Structure 1
Amino acid sequence: MQYIDNIIFLILLIAGFGLFAKSLQKIYRNIRLGKEINRSDRKGERWETMARVAMGQSKMVKRPVAGILHLFVYVGFVIINIELIEIIVDGLFGTHRFLMTIFGEKFYSVFTFTLEILAILVVIGVVVFFIRRNFYGVKRLTMKELFGWPKNDANWILIIEFALMVAFFMMNGADFYTAPEKFTYNFPISQTIFPFFESFSDETLHIIEKSAWWFHFVGILFFMNYLYYSKHLHIILAFPSTWYANLEKKGKFNNLESVTKEIKLMMDPNADPYAAPAEGEAEVPSKFGAEDVFDLNQVQLLNAYSCTECGRCTSVCPANITGKKLSPRLILMKTRDRLEEVGRNIDKNGSFVDDGKKLLNDYITKEELWACTTCNACTEACPVLLDPLSIIFEMRRFLVMEQSAAPQELNLMMTNVENNAAPWQYNQADRLNWAND
């Protein structure tokens, strides 16, 4: 019976990490439903970009208040969870403050002091974010598209992080006042918050310490597995998203090789249009553009999972600002929703069974797609280099090349280019008349 705690701990540990691994496997499978894309070039630049943007938070601090608070929460929460190593060893082997035996009392004192300072910065950050999101009225955080689950999700994450930090402080405070003369613990915040612990008996303090310890451990496992259902997947996926980001100039259109070849054939009077494609030459794709998530590439699907729903993209979108239906944030959110629906279909049937739905029309409307001005403000604003514009490009390409469903104004322009080699409706011989005066 003396090992019952260790056995329960081991079961929870295996179950927690097992479920987490299963969730990651499911996300990986869903992303793999997209088309392969080669983003393995310029490796040095990609590593530098990931270190600067994902780890260094360089784009977050362009809005200093939110950026610095996010840095507090991000750095604090990540570093504090280094203590999870200590919790795992203590839980499995019944030790107490295992890292102190490794670090020594002096260095462990510095370590615990650092964790306490970071923990209080996390508390400050999540409290300000909660007030800002629910009472301050930041427009991009109170838009209709966030009503319901997205808003509740963001609040739950903040509440969970707050609760974990309170448990961390209680655990440390109770530990300090149990036997302060035994160890050189350095808990400046905990012993300040809970001075009344000094009047408690050692037995009571031990119960408080163990309860907070278990709450902190189970809370971390819960938080880890909750990520799958949350926008906070970006804690993990921001790193691959920034590594696989598009490093080309923003707005550079990805011309299809097969289409370029066709145009060259049209312009070459000596070309044989029926000649077999040369080795290594691009074949005509089975479908132009994207109608559903299967037609998008894997980086675009990774982007959908990585979206933080912060709304910086939507807040700078000129179409959205002028009252049009388009929201770049919502493009990524709807893509993720459709991808999750496809994933559940596969889970149920073993493989995808046509459900009569598509990303186009059922999730993202033509009105949203054609409202986009392709100005790239959204891609420039994103703190983790996501690219909702590329999804809009591909879905527009499908509408134009597969369904001939471009707006009348665009069809008129393309007809003029075809007939007059210019977007305007006049004869080619008159193209320079503007210079006569």
Structure 2
Amino acid sequence: MQYIDNIIFLILLVAGFGLFAKSLLKIYRNIKLGREINRSDRKSERWETMARVAMGQSKMVKRPVAGILHLFVYVGFVIINIELIEIIVDGIFGTHRFLASIFGHGFYNFFTATLEVLALLVVIGVVVFFIRRNFYGVKRLTMKELFGWPKNDANWILIIEFALMMAFFSMNSADYVLQMRGVLAEHGSFPISEMTLVPFLEIFSFDNGFLMFVEKGAWWFHFVGILFFMNYLYYSKHLHIILAFPSTWFANLDKKGKFNNLDSVTKEIKLMMDPNADPYAAPAEGDAADVPSKFGAEDIFDLNQVQLLNAYSCTECGRCTSVCPANITGKKLSPRLILMKTRDRLEEVGRNIDKNGKFEDDGKKLLNDYITKEELWACTTCNACTEACPVLLDPLSIIFEMRRFLVMEQSAAPQELNLMMTNLENNAAPWQYNQADRLNWAND
């Protein structure tokens, strides 16, 4: 019976990480539903971009207040969970503050003191974020598209992080008092706990049994809370904690505003412009395979895998929407909502596969059922959204592919565009005049 705690700990550890791995595999499967795209070029530039943007938070600090607070939460929460290594070893083997024997007395004191300072910064960050999101009225955080689950999800994450940090301080405070009473060996330095919770424990002169209960209870709460938080990520916008890294690595490194051309269309145009080409000749070997089954995107299967990864990586911060000229002028388009709707459709398809073993046609599409034509045609393709995104997501590429489908598959462009394209076809210019008159503007 003396090892019952260790056995329970090990079961929870295996179950928690097992469920987390299962969720990641499901996300990977869903992303693989998209078209393959080769983003393996310029590897050194990609590593540098990921280190600078995802790890270094370089784009977050363009809005200093939110950026610095996010840096507090990000760095603090990540580094504090290095202590998870110690928790795992202590939980499996029944030791207490295992890293003290590895680091030595001096460095372990510095290590635990640093964790306390970082934990305080995390608490400050999440409290300010909670106030900004719920009471301060930042427009991009109070828009209609965030009502319901998105807002609740963001608040739950902040509450969970706050609770984990409070458990961390409670554990350290009870531990410190027990060390001072000689019940536990003296390991670590806890400056924040000494100034905040330790005086409270000493005023009420709690006995050693109660303090052991608080220390062990907070330890278990912190451990189970980390496992819960880790598995909650699958259902949350906070997947960006993990997926921001591959998203920045696979980001489009071309100049913004450069749209991709379809090889099949390019070859067809070159054939049309070649006076020596035989229009009735059979396509060259391999050319037929280059012709896509569908031009543009109607559903998530038509988008590429990086675009689906982007949908999962969106943190719904709304920086893209806040700078979108279409949205600012009252149009329905919200780049953030484009990514959110793409993720919703992707999750719906995933549930369909889970239920049926394979995708069974559900009569729905990303186009019209989730994203409307009005939203797509409101976009000015100015790239403000892609420039603003702190993790280099590209909602414009999804808009562009869905527009391509409307034009090339359904001939469903607005009348103004149809007129322009007709003029291009007939007059080789957007305006409605004879080709012979194209240079008349230079006569004077």
- TM-score, normalised by the number of residues in structure 2: 0.95
Measure, in 1, the Cα distance between the counterparts of 2:332 and 2:87. 49
1:125 deviation in Å?
A: 0.2
Residues 277 and 283 in structure 1, CA contact (< 8 A), matched pair in contact too: no
Equivalent position to 2:190, from 187, 191, 209: 187
Measure, in 2, the Cα distance between the counterparts of 1:274 and 1:161. 67
Deviation string, structure 1 residues 197-230 (Cα, Å, up to 9, x no partner): 2222111110000000000000000000000000
1:272 deviation in Å?
A: 2.1
Q: Secondary structure at the match of 1:378?
A: helix
1:15 deviation in Å?
A: 0.7
1:274 deviation in Å?
A: 3.8
Give the match for residue 411 of structure 2.
Answer: 404
1:194 deviation in Å?
A: 3.0
1:432 deviation in Å?
A: 2.6
Deviation string, structure 1 residues 115-158 (Cα, Å, up to 9, x no partner): 00000000000000000000000000000000000000000000
Measure, in 2, the Cα distance between the counterparts of 1:319 and 1:203. 63
1:268 deviation in Å?
A: 1.0
- Cα distance change on mapping 1:48 and 1:280 into 2, 3 Å: farther
1:276 deviation in Å?
A: 4.1
Q: Which 10-residue stretch deviates more, 425-434 or 123-132?
A: 425-434
Deviation string, structure 1 residues 370-393 (Cα, Å, up to 9, x no partner): 000000000000000000000001
Matched residues, percent identical? 90
Q: Secondary structure at the match of 2:191?
A: coil
Q: Secondary structure at the match of 1:299?
A: helix
Tell me how large the CA RMSD over aligned residues is: 1.0
Q: Secondary structure at the match of 2:283?
A: coil
Q: Secondary structure at the match of 1:228?
A: helix
Equivalent position to 2:236, from 210, 230, 234: 230
Q: Secondary structure at the match of 1:2?
A: coil
Match runs of 1:1-12 below 5 Å: 1-12=1-12
- TM-score, normalised by the number of residues in structure 1: 0.97
Q: Which 10-residue stretch deviates more, 199-208 or 146-155?
A: 199-208
Q: Secondary structure at the match of 1:355?
A: coil
The size of the alignment, in residue pairs, is 428
Equivalent position to 1:256, from 259, 262, 271: 262
Measure, in 2, the Cα distance between the counterparts of 1:273 and 1:29. 42
Q: Secondary structure at the match of 2:28?
A: helix
Give the match for residue 109 of structure 1.
Answer: 109
1:270 deviation in Å?
A: 1.2
1:427 deviation in Å?
A: 1.2
Deviation string, structure 1 residues 321-346 (Cα, Å, up to 9, x no partner): 00000000000000000000000000
1:283 deviation in Å?
A: 1.9
1:430 deviation in Å?
A: 1.9
Q: Secondary structure at the match of 2:256?
A: coil
1:33 deviation in Å?
A: 0.2
Deviation string, structure 1 residues 252-300 (Cα, Å, up to 9, x no partner): 1100000001111111121123434445546211100000000000000
Give the match for residue 179 of structure 2.
Answer: none
Unaligned runs of 5+ in 2: 177-188
1:59 deviation in Å?
A: 0.3
Deviation string, structure 1 residues 3-42 (Cα, Å, up to 9, x no partner): 1111110111011000000000000000000000000000
Q: Secondary structure at the match of 2:290?
A: coil
1:431 deviation in Å?
A: 2.1
Residues 313 and 377 in structure 1, CA contact (< 8 A), matched pair in contact too: yes
Residues 420 and 428 in structure 1, CA contact (< 8 A), matched pair in contact too: yes
Measure, in 2, the Cα distance between the counterparts of 1:273 and 1:300. 36
1:251 deviation in Å?
A: 1.3
Q: Secondary structure at the match of 1:100?
A: helix
Give the match for residue 182 of structure 2.
Answer: none
Q: Secondary structure at the match of 1:189?
A: helix
